[in-house]
Structure 1
């Protein structure tokens, strides 16, 4: 397995993986929505970036999207992991660990103070990985739909 920045050659695999991610969370997602996110990930002016984990054949088997975020209280910048998804057939092979480690390494290069993410309370399989590689925080998340 190799973790690399998302490239145009990954588009078909990325579409498959990102559609699977949306399905997992029960989010209606259209091809137009995926086109928009894909464009963000390749726009140097946009903050979002993407990584994929590839198998030996160069096929993307997992994806991660991340971006910087300001942390005013500590006067630092952190990294936010927006999306992480691993092909269901590749789970249990530490693909998520490799993607998270690559984002952490990128954060170190950029001088970030933390890598942060959220997941669903009932996402038990992912939480087992997250509990192994990170520290659970006591913070709750709130949304105001606009």
Structure 2
């Protein structure tokens, strides 16, 4: 399978939207047009340090994506990378798509001067965690979330 990964383009909206909706469905999160439009605008807003990579098959169809962004690290006094979202169509998993996405993410982070990229995943995302254990170092940090109402 001939794969490619590149930054998301304006003409990729339909593929990106289908992939993103499948991703949020996996996590049982709500989705609507307003959220989709907001995220799309972040990706193409030159003032936001928010990015999207899109993996495509040999026909140019989107089969996977990554959302990532710059994140300040006050303890280091510099920006680092944060991977927010990663999804690959189930039928394309195991084909090298994730490796190619991470290789491209690594190059992007290097170009931006980030010393590392951090991410979190669901505890029960066993398949994803098996991949991450090969690609990265698991940190000692536990993640907490405080809801603000």
Shorter-chain-normalised TM-score: which range?
Answer: over 0.9
Unaligned runs of 5+ in 1: none
Alignment of 1:1-146 (within 5 A): 1-146=3-148
**Cα distance, 1:76 vs structure 2:** 2.3
**Cα distance, 1:31 vs structure 2:** 2.0
The 3-state SS of whatever aligns with 2:30 is coil
The TM-score with structure 2 as length reference comes to: 0.94
Write the deviation string for residues 5-25 of structure 1: whole angstroms up to 9, x where unpaired.
Answer: 000111111111000000000
Which segments of structure 1 move beyond 3 Å, counting only runs of 4 or more? none
Write the deviation string for residues 98-144 of structure 1: whole angstroms up to 9, x where unpaired.
Answer: 11221111111111111110000000011111111111111011111
Write the deviation string for residues 57-104 of structure 1: whole angstroms up to 9, x where unpaired.
Answer: 111110001111111212221100011000111111121121122111
